[in-house]
Chain A
């Protein structure tokens, strides 16, 4: 979940960001529109598309495997839920479809530098400027949000460690208050650093 981008020179890496986003969005849309009533093809078509997307030279199925492992909890929860309410057939079909969907969407982050994503977003969002929304700010906000995850993960670790050092029993409240303070302090410092680096 931390840094998704993997440097490389696969077909996906070489495709221009805007076009890549469109292609992947079209695939995701197509997969989510496959009718449930088709039965097995509703699972095999997405699975085949997903395999084809990852099988290009320079990415490979190992990376796909890594993605699936990373999203195992989402898949398990989905599978169990569907199993209980819909039975084994639909559960298998839907879980496969969701796994393919997320994996294909993840290709964008996996093969695009944040900088390029920012540039493409600024261009893609530029119609928003007519609504007095600054596309640069929206794109930057998204990038910074993504990058705050590792820092906050670390802060959470620090809080838990400090509590263990004082052998306090873990409790949500005892965790939440110091974590919130650290998070706010981080936001403050990051805001200043952004200003200092020329973000208005």
Chain B
């Protein structure tokens, strides 16, 4: 089954055409998205994540139409953003993770069990009852990941998830995102070393796909464009 398929997809944001006639088929388990500031990377991530509609063309994610099958998409696709502060919804760590399961009508015990397992996996068990707003930036971003992964998503979209972090925390977050598992990953990043760890990559320039393929080749093409 195809992961992400775009056909002539365009996205208009006010006066700006942020994506123009993008056609893509992404099948690899992990894909990096590269490009300059304002090139349309976040727009691509939002389009795939169903947060924005295409103004023309078609989008298919995990075999779903992100707009018409939005509820199903939400269940199977998780999104992580850059700013850890804007992703926290609940006052304590465990409650924030549990928030992701609210819509799922799970039994209380099952909810608690899944939250505990997710906290464990992200090394947050000791912080379960701590105030989520008092965590460090790195811990907050791990909490955001934990809130995303607790739903066992099939696809994780991450838009510059390490942008606000120091090298150590960035590494930690990246390791979790790239860990072997059942999920696919679409990772927007400016960190070329991190992009290299993905199987494939897309290079976006001025709202168009400038290169797509194996990550090593696409990164080389992007670096070439930086040369002059």
Contact = CB atoms under 8 A, between A and B. Distances in A.
Nearest to A153: B133
Interface in A132-151: 143-144, 146-147, 150-151
B116 interface: no
A171 B70 CA distance: 46
Given A186-B86, A195-B51, A198-B74, A150 B92 contact: no
B103 interface: yes
Interface in B120-150: 129, 131, 133-134, 147-148
Contacts of A2: 131, 133-134
A32 interface: no
Interface in B84-104: 85-92, 95, 98-100, 102-104
Contacts of B99: 115, 197
Interface of A: 2-5, 7, 113-115, 118, 143-144, 146-147, 150-151, 154, 186, 189-190, 192-200
- The interface size bin for chain B is 20 to 34
Contact of B92 (A113, A144, A199): A113
Contacts of B79: 192-193, 196
Contacts of A198: 74-75, 100, 102-104, 151
Contacts of B87: 189-190, 193
Contacts of A115: 90, 95, 98-99
B207 interface: no
Contacts of B102: 118, 198
Interface in B16-47: 46
B81 interface: yes
B105 to A, nearest CB: 12
